[in-house]
Amino acid sequence: MAKTTNTIRNINYDKKSLRRNTLISLYINMLKPRMIEEKMLILLRQGKISKWFSGIGQEAISVGVTMALKDDEYILPMHRNLGVFTTRKIPLHRLFAQWQGKASGFTKGRDRSFHFGTQEYNIVGMISHLGPQLGVADGIALANLLKKNNKVTAVFSGEGGTSEGDFHEALNVASVWKLPVIFCIENNGYGLSTPTSQQYNCKNIADRGKGYGIESFIIDGNNILDVYSKLTKLAESIRKRPRPILIEFKTFRMRGHEEASGTKYVPKDLMEQWALKDPLVNYQAYLKEEGILTEKDEVIIKEDIMKEIHDGLEKAYAEEAIVPNLTSELNDVYKAFKYQEVTHKGKTKEIRFVDAISEGLKQSMQKHKDLVIMGQDIADYGGVFKITDGFLKAFGEERVRNTPICESAIVEAGMGLSIAGIKSVVEMQFADFVTSGFNPVVNYLAKSHYRWNQNADVVLRMPCGGGVAAGPFHSQTNEAWFTKTPGLKVVYPAFPYDAKGLLATAINDPNPVLFFEHKALYRSIRQEVPIDYFTLPFGKASLLREGTDVTVISYGAAVHWALETLDNNKDIDADVIDLRTLQPLDTEAILTSVKKTGKAIILQEDSLFGGIASDIASMIMEECFEYLDAPVKRVASIETPIPFINQLEEQYLPKNRFETELKTLLDY
Ligand SMILES: Cc1ncc(C[n+]2csc(CCOP(=O)(O)OP(=O)(O)O)c2C)c(N)n1
């Protein structure tokens, strides 16, 4: 522990009307993470923990912010915010167990260090990618705004993290939507080895607030009384008048990025200057000067914390190591969902694919009273495909939300809404644009339940597919990017009836669902569809035709190409399987059919390599080898981006090659 007696104070404090209890609590709450860290550094040297990101010298920020918030208000910390976790009074043995990968931690050994959240303590931990936290905070703040509960959300980032697009998107959305969120930027001089001069080129990060229409402040992050008093005041003001605020805390990173990386690149005098501004040492000296803390108090407080650390460590060490259990690993990827069948009793009506989606969405909006939908141009304009036409009038602007062009922040906001218990549907204007929100989809939505038991109750609507002469960026069918990622469900209907029933299920399901809607089907495919709300189960393919010669497996628009080919070749007697959902996949339907026919052909709109057809083909070979009368055939688009002009697109897509390939297979 750093020596504190006879210290010359380098920070000026103003305790205003703060009571002794609060002043002492601020001290204890800063001291505890410092003492834990000092212990961790010893354990690290002994090889007892693997990695450590130090927040030494930055404790005043974590502690001041956390104490300014109420316990039921969410905080989204980063890797140097141990003080948030300890100030929220998480039992130390659980923190230690988390770092040791033990079961009584927060991630069952599935994620390390501070990469966890806990609803019990209203803390949402980071993913490694830093920036997404900011958009998730927007979502939580939006939930608070909608619930009108006057709660504030605080989210942290380093100055390095502010260079990510997520920062800019999150601030912009928060400003446009007037979200009650405090963006806390800890400017500690370095992002790994990169000094601020190479990170950004404005004087202060706080200056950026102006560009987004956000009030911003600079606070001395090493002055605990400043941090606490100013944050308390700001939080109170935001509770009364919801709005975002940007705060830049000036501070310094006193140790390496993580312990192994050292601080060689930091000028010595800089380190020495900041050492004089140690937030704990200075505050302790101040409390003593003021007669608020005596030597005796200090000894007792330290002994208590030491004992708490010691006991916590004993308990964590005594806990047995995790024994891998395959079933629980696999079961925890998704939140359990008990499918509720809602059958349709009433009348049917012939509608288009696009109407089925619109109707399904509308009925889910009626059923789930707090379901929020978000997307570009979906409100007044009704969406570029007019699926949400009239929704604004029917459900109001709180639930039907036009968004700025910022796919990352909106997916992240969906995650935040889910954390706060609100379902959402996000419309990607085109499935192609999901790339701009790819990180939060595959890393936040997909992995949160497995990591810390937090589901992402978000449906992403994905208007996709070719045949519409729209070129490489408005025609892709990119389902394979997501079927590859555990934690996501992927739905891809081919008919209006399926689209309506599966969309209802996607919204009921508490897991993240990517719902692919083929644009070429929107206005070309009609079907009798029940007028009332109904659901259809995931993981159940539909057997569209029954035959004995061959099994044709497909999904989306390609199902219609297969049917057209078979209509033109009435002599071919085929089982036709429309997969309907790709994750979960109805393997049983596939295998049963192939065992019957002995031949399988998979028609996929996407280019061949790495698509779902390849996985299905492998699966058939592994499971049905002895039943096969021919090699499994995959038919897919060629290995180029999807081109614009009709004749090139026709050459690209597999539609016209399917018939020949099917006949070759039958002749084998
Ligand atoms: C998207 C992404 N890029 C790079 C990294 C590697 N990385 C982890 S922390 C870090 C520095 C972050 O700096 P800053 O945001 O200032 O926070 P600090 O570590 O200084 O507290 C880097 C480069 C990462 N985790 N995620």
Q: How many CB atoms lie within 10 A of CB 370?
A: 15
Angle in degrees, CA 161, 167, 170, rounded to 5: 150
Q: How many CB atoms lie within 10 A of CB 264?
A: 7
For position 663, what pLDDT does the model report?
98
Backbone angles phi, psi at 617, to 5 degrees: -60, -45
In the structure, which protein residues have their CB atom closer than 6 angstroms to any atom of ligand 1? Answer: 80, 128-130, 157-161, 188, 190-192, 253, 257
Task: Tell whether omega for the bond before 631 is within 30 degrees of 0, i.e. cis.
Answer: no
Q: pTM, whole model, 2 decimals?
A: 0.97
Q: How far apart, in whole angstroms, are the C-alpha atoms of residue 480 and residue 349?
A: 33
Mutation probe of ligand 1 site: the residue of 59, 61, 192, 438 with most atoms within 8 A of C-beta: 192
**Within its chain, how far is the Cα of 468 from the centroid?**
32
* Atom of ligand 1 minimally distant from the CA of 192: 11
Q: From ligand 1's centre to the CA of 159, what distance in Å?
A: 9
Q: Under 8 Å CB-to-CB from 618, ≥6 apart: which residues?
A: none
**CA-wise closest residue to 292 among 247, 246, 348, 225:** 225
Within the chain, which residues score under 50 in pLDDT? 1-5
Report the SS3 class of residue 130. coil
DSSP state of 123: B
Q: From ligand 1's centre to the CA of 259, what distance in Å?
A: 14
DSSP state of 161: G
Q: Are 64 and 227 in contact (CB under 8 A)?
A: yes
Report the SS3 class of residue 215. strand
Q: What is the CB-side half-sphere exposure of residue 284 using CA atoms within 13 A?
A: 24
Q: Which two tokens stand for residue 448?
A: 């949160």
β-partners of residue 90 are none
* Atom of ligand 1 minimally distant from the CA of 79: 21
Q: How far apart, in whole angstroms, are the C-alpha atoms of residue 545 and residue 554?
A: 12
For position 60, what pLDDT does the model report?
98
Q: Under 8 Å CB-to-CB from 208, ≥6 apart: which residues?
A: 162, 171, 202, 216, 246
- In SS3 terms, 541-588 reads as CEEEECCCCEEEEECCHHHHHHHHHHHCCCCCCEEEEECCEEECCCHH
For position 2, what pLDDT does the model report?
45
For position 3, what pLDDT does the model report?
46
Name which residue sits closest to atom 9 of ligand 1, judged by CA.
Answer: 192
Q: From ligand 1's centre to the CA of 56, what distance in Å?
A: 17
Return the biggest CA–CA distance within the chain.
98
Q: From ligand 1's centre to the CA of 244, what distance in Å?
A: 24
For position 6, what pLDDT does the model report?
54
Strand runs labelled E in 10-152: 75-76
Active site residues: 474
Q: Amino acid identity, residue 197?
A: S
Q: How many CB atoms lie within 10 A of CB 337?
A: 14
Name which residue sits closest to atom 21 of ligand 1, judged by CA.
Answer: 158
